[in-house]
Amino acid sequence: MAKFIGRRLVYLLPVLLAVTLLTFLIASLLPGDLAYTILGDQATPEKVEALRAQMGLDRPIWERYLIWLGNAVQGNLGRSFRTGETVFAAVVDRLPVSLELMVMAVVLALLIAIPLAILCAVRSGSALDRFVTGLAFGKLSLPPFMVAILLIYLFAVELGWLPATGWVPFAEDPVANLRSFVLPALTLAIAEWPVLMRVLRSDMIATLQEDYIAMAKAKGLRPARILLVHALKPSSLTLVTVAGINIGRLIGGTLIVETIFALPGIGRLLIGAIYARDFIILQGVVLFVAVGFVVVNFIVDMLYAVLDPRIRHGRA
Amino acid sequence: MAALDVGVDTAAVTPVRRRRRVGGLFLASVIWIAVVALGAIFADLLPIPSPTYIDMLGKRELPSAEHWLGNDQLGRDVFSRLVHGGRISLTVGLLAPVIGVTVGGALGMLAGYFRGRFETFVSGGVDVLLAFPPLVFALAVTTYLGQSVLNITLVIGILGIPAFTRVARAVTLSLSEREFVTAARALGATHTRILLRELLPNVALPLVAFFLLGVAVTIVVEGALSFLGLGVPPPAPSWGSMIGEGRESLDIAPWLAFMPATVMFLTVLSFNIVGDTLRALTDPRPGAL
């Protein structure tokens, strides 16, 4: 196991380095120069030169990359030239909101996926199974921003049950805080459940053919007990991993959902930085999200190897 | 039509799904795509109002003989904007995966055929590109480069390369072990000939199926960018930006958001159905080939 982790770690470092390099290079795609962008209309050649020297923009690109990387490793990603806030403080400030949203989304997605998967597995091939499987396929064509519009229309405009926007800190009013998360989390959950349902359904169908299930039936155990205790646990290995992998994919979804529902999370920070042309914040957040994505995937890989010995011993 | 005939045949071989049912859906999907595509191509010739003409007195007007689907919140003809919006969705949607399928397909085939260091290098590059959440990558690059149809197409196209590389590599790997490749090699065929004449025709079909799924994904990503106001700049009509603009008046005119959403959903669904049907037919499992 230690050898496996070591091998993956050796692989992780170059990927992380490449990700930082790519993030840095994307930022250098900016036409003109960051100094011009910051100074705007007041740019005079002297002022631009002074700012370039101050920001180190007059140095060669590889030197700038190394300086930037050195600072980034120490958690110093610069500060916004619009608000003066440091990137680090901005990210730390918004992170809890995004995490709360993602946790609620995963929980809701599992609450939808598990019962449907069990029903479909038990009655596999039935009209219900075909309907739910078809629904899951159709959902693949319905992106989160459309689901969000539908949910806002239904629950906020027509029924008036839940707020469409407006976020309240948890410490101030827990109920209002949770209410403001219901629609965004539900939007992401609706995007995620089809994948989870498909995985659990096919694993469950395989488990239900095992001898010990027939044994449990022969012993006269109640069907509910057989399904929930004997069959669900061994079937949920892949489900756990897929749920983990999808946390990475959720990041993209939170971007849109946080913007639509005006939740002050990482996604909205990023979109806000784009609207405001705040390139320092943008670069910092892109780096943070990309590195977070790589690390989460690495941890999921590790979990997968812990759960399934075949991965550890098989050829990578 | 040939694809449909094959579909009926496989139903007898693989009893996993009832292909006959998919046949009707498949046909409906092809027809829908054709209608949207024809509308996009001939948008300028159709007897419809301009998509950018603003009728100040006709804001959120209901459907009439003159405006088939009514007007939007600025008084622009919704039907015309839907037809013209299809242009952007289909242009980006079809061109971006072309980048992915050519670059990714070539890289994947070379990596799967030659193996060794080149394969390690390609796989590493693919992993790095996949390490970025795609939407974040697309947003960042279009922000720095500027929003235009060309830039958006390029970014989404580059983002698609890793997926196509993986598919092409996997298919090529399994095909390279097959007898017909060994036979060609024994006959003294050059690498170029084996790659182009023996492998390419077999790799092409799974790639085409994957290409259609790529079109569906691309239309969604372009829609998301436009929805956020970060896609093709206004006043050019795009389905995503129409949904985004319609969101502002969900309480008084919800149809303004729902009409482009329905058109986009049906188009994406159609590409998914066609792509999935082809994918099921060209599944690279030994028995299915």
User: In degrees rounded to 5, what are phi and psi of residue A79?
Assistant: -130, 155
Asked if B234 and B244 touch (Cβ cutoff 8 Å), the reply is: no
Contacts of B150 in chain A (CB under 8 A): none
Strand partners, A79: A86
pLDDT digits 0-9 by tens, B272-282: 999 888 877 76
Is the predicted pLDDT of residue B30 greater than 70, yes or no? yes
Contact B135 A256 (CB under 8 A): yes
Measure in Å the smallest separation between the Cα of A294 and chain B Cα atoms.
6
Amino acid at the residue B200 = L
Asked if A161 and A155 touch (Cβ cutoff 8 Å), the reply is: yes
> What integer pLDDT is reported at residue B176 of this predicted model?
85
Size of interface A-B (CB pairs under 8 A): 112
Is the predicted pLDDT of residue A97 greater than 50, yes or no? yes
Is the predicted pLDDT of residue B2 greater than 70, yes or no? no
Q: Closest partner residue to B269 among A138, A153, A275, by Cβ?
A: A138
Catalogue the long-range contacts made by A290-295 (C-beta closer than 8 Å, 24 or more residues apart): A290/A19, A290/A22, A290/A23, A290/B131, A290/B132, A290/B133, A290/B136, A291/A16, A291/A19, A291/A20, A292/A251, A293/A248, A293/A251, A293/B131, A293/B132, A293/B133, A294/A12, A294/A15, A294/A16, A294/A19, A294/B131
Is the predicted pLDDT of residue B98 greater than 90, yes or no? yes
Is the predicted pLDDT of residue B138 greater than 80, yes or no? yes
Contacts of residue B2, defined as CB under 8 A and 6 or more positions apart, other chains included, come to none
pLDDT digits 0-9 by tens, A32-64: 667 777 777 777 777 777 777 777 777 777 888
What are the structure tokens assigned to B255, written together?
A: 């149809």
Q: Please give the average per-residue pLDDT across B85-103, as a whole number.
A: 92
Cα–Cα distance measured from residue A140 to residue A121, given in angstroms and rounded to the nearest whole number: 21
Contacts of A256 in chain B (CB under 8 A): 135, 224, 227-228
Residue of B123, B143, B243 to mutate for A, most A C-beta atoms under 10 A: B143
- Half-sphere exposure at residue A198, Cβ-oriented, CA atoms within 13 angstroms: 12
Contact B135 A255 (CB under 8 A): yes
Contact A252 B134 (CB under 8 A): yes
pLDDT band per the 50, 70, 90 thresholds, residue A313:
low
pLDDT digits 0-9 by tens, A181-225: 889 999 999 988 888 888 888 888 888 888 888 888 888 888 888
Amino acid at the residue A21 = L
Is the predicted pLDDT of residue B263 greater than 60, yes or no? yes
Cα–Cα distance measured from residue A126 to residue A158, given in angstroms and rounded to the nearest whole number: 35
Please tell me the total number of residues recorded for chain A in this structure.
316
Amino acid at the residue B229 = G
pLDDT band per the 50, 70, 90 thresholds, residue B265:
very high
Cα–Cα distance measured from residue A183 to residue A171, given in angstroms and rounded to the nearest whole number: 20
> What integer pLDDT is reported at residue A307 of this predicted model?
66
Tell me which of A47-51, A180-184, B190-194, B216-220 is least confident: A47-51
Cα–Cα distance measured from residue A137 to residue B92, given in angstroms and rounded to the nearest whole number: 23
Is the predicted pLDDT of residue B286 greater than 60, yes or no? no
**Number of neighbours of residue A73 by Cβ within 10 angstroms:** 9
Helix residue ranges per DSSP H, A140-173: 144-151
> What integer pLDDT is reported at residue B6 of this predicted model?
39
ipTM passes above 0.90: no
Q: Closest partner residue to B250 among A141, A153, A255, by Cβ?
A: A153
> What integer pLDDT is reported at residue B289 of this predicted model?
33
> What integer pLDDT is reported at residue A311 of this predicted model?
61
Cα–Cα distance measured from residue A216 to residue B175, given in angstroms and rounded to the nearest whole number: 45
Any CB–CB contact under 8 A between A142 and chain B? yes
pLDDT digits 0-9 by tens, A125-157: 888 888 888 888 888 888 888 898 888 888 888
What is B108-163 written as a DSSP string?
Answer: HHHHHHH-HHHHHHHHHHHHHHHTS-HHHHHHHHHHHH---HHHHHHHHHHHHHHH
How far apart, in Å, are the Cα atoms of A23 and each of A284, B126, B141, B144?
A: 9, 16, 10, 11
> What integer pLDDT is reported at residue B96 of this predicted model?
93
Q: Name which of B189, B163, B162 is nearest B176 in CA terms.
A: B189
Q: Is the peptide bond before B63 cis (omega within 30 degrees of 0)?
A: no
Is the predicted pLDDT of residue A315 greater than 50, yes or no? no
Contact B261 A146 (CB under 8 A): yes
pLDDT band per the 50, 70, 90 thresholds, residue B110:
very high
Give Cα B173 to chain centroid, integer Å.
25
Helix residue ranges per DSSP H, A219-278: 223-225, 232-235, 237-260, 266-275
Is the predicted pLDDT of residue B29 greater than 60, yes or no? yes
Cα–Cα distance measured from residue A266 to residue A289, given in angstroms and rounded to the nearest whole number: 9
> What integer pLDDT is reported at residue B219 of this predicted model?
92
Cα–Cα distance measured from residue A262 to residue B182, given in angstroms and rounded to the nearest whole number: 60
Cα–Cα distance measured from residue B136 to residue B106, given in angstroms and rounded to the nearest whole number: 26
Residue appearing with tokens 């990700």: A19
Strand partners, B77: B71
Cα–Cα distance measured from residue B117 to residue B121, given in angstroms and rounded to the nearest whole number: 6
Contacts of A144 in chain B (CB under 8 A): 224
Residue of B26, B121, B123, B136 to mutate for A, most A C-beta atoms under 10 A: B136
pLDDT digits 0-9 by tens, A79-88: 787 777 888 8
Give the chain B residue nearest A278 (alpha carbons).
B143
Cα–Cα distance measured from residue A114 to residue A27, given in angstroms and rounded to the nearest whole number: 43
Cα–Cα distance measured from residue A92 to residue A95, given in angstroms and rounded to the nearest whole number: 5
Any CB–CB contact under 8 A between A14 and chain B? yes
What are the structure tokens assigned to B249, written together?
A: 């008046």
Is the predicted pLDDT of residue A102 greater than 60, yes or no? yes
What are the structure tokens assigned to B150, written together?
A: 């060309």
The per-residue pLDDT of chain A, averaged, comes to 82
Q: What percent of chain A has pLDDT over 90?
A: 4
Is the predicted pLDDT of residue B116 greater than 80, yes or no? yes
Contact A145 B227 (CB under 8 A): yes
> What integer pLDDT is reported at residue A86 of this predicted model?
86
Q: Which is higher by pLDDT, A240 or A286? A: A286
> What integer pLDDT is reported at residue A28 of this predicted model?
75
pLDDT band per the 50, 70, 90 thresholds, residue B235:
confident
Contacts of residue A107, defined as CB under 8 A and 6 or more positions apart, other chains included, come to none
Any CB–CB contact under 8 A between A19 and chain B? yes
Contacts of residue B154, defined as CB under 8 A and 6 or more positions apart, other chains included, come to B96, B99
Is the predicted pLDDT of residue B44 greater than 70, yes or no? yes
> What integer pLDDT is reported at residue A173 of this predicted model?
78
Q: Closest partner residue to B141 among A26, A150, A290, by Cβ?
A: A26
Q: Closest partner residue to A141 among B143, B240, B269, by Cβ?
A: B269
> What integer pLDDT is reported at residue B4 of this predicted model?
39
Is the predicted pLDDT of residue A91 greater than 80, yes or no? yes
The per-residue pLDDT of chain B, averaged, comes to 81
What are the structure tokens assigned to A139, written together?
A: 């959902």
Decide: helix, strand or coil at residue B231. Answer: coil
DSSP A209: T
pLDDT band per the 50, 70, 90 thresholds, residue B73:
confident
Cα–Cα distance measured from residue A206 to residue A199, given in angstroms and rounded to the nearest whole number: 11
